[in-house]
Amino acid sequence: MGLKSFIIPAVDIKDGKAVRLFKGDPNAVTIYGDDPVSVAKQWEGKGAKHLHIVDLDGAFEGKPKNYKIVEKIVASVSIPVEFGGGLRSFEAAKTMIDIGVARIVIGSLAYTNKDEFMKIIDAFPNKVVVGIDAKDGKVAIKGWLEKTQYTPLEFAQQYDQLNIWGFLYTDVNRDGAMVGPNIEGTKKLAENLKHPVIASGGVGSIEDVQKLYQLKKYGVYSVVVGKALYEGKIKLEELED
């Protein structure tokens, strides 16, 4: 697996458009496209092997709001799509699996309603990615608005023995800021968990990707990249598979 396969482009949807937030702030929005479906197809055309779709409206409102757009994306591309944003009930999770999403990312529900979360894991083995959004060293939930008392590792270890796909670790303070990923935090998680970890947040250059790629031996599976791709800091089509 080369660097191209290691990168998962992010398509964040807000108000029906492809956007990026700065440090998780819903008021700090940059619009990168009016049609998230064509944006998704563009990344596939440049060689992406996976896509990471986030329903930002869903994350803030607690239930998926851009369902139709995600359904169109899944139907329009031939690569696997992982989806997160507002999956806080069994029904919401089932809806996304039913439209063909390969993996679902769930964070808040794992904290607020473990029974419901376990029901989803039991129903969809190996398809759930536990979303770990960290803010100042603690796990944040509900669209990053509420901080819990858990460190990322404490939170992850509760689910590491279950039949999940793995974990998605995002340092919210770095997300969309292109200041470099949290290498130390990502490594600490990956080397202490048996499931794979997807890194996210802060990637601003191909050097950042290479640093994370070096952590593959510890269990870092891939990295979600948004702004650096949209702004041409990383050119997917120039990388090797």
Q: What are phi and psi of 183, to 5 degrees?
A: -65, -45
CA angle (239, 240, 241) in 5-degree steps: 125
- Catalytic annotation on 12? yes
* DSSP-assigned states of every residue in 198-237: EEES---SHHHHHHHHGGGGGTEEEEEE-HHHHTTSS-GG
Catalytic residue, chosen from 133, 171, 175, 208, is 133
Contact present, 62 and 86 (Cβ < 8 Å):
yes
CA distance 99 to 71: 6
Q: Which run of H or E residues covers position 169?
A: strand 166-171
Can 171 be counted among the known catalytic residues? no
Q: Which residues are catalytic?
A: 12, 133
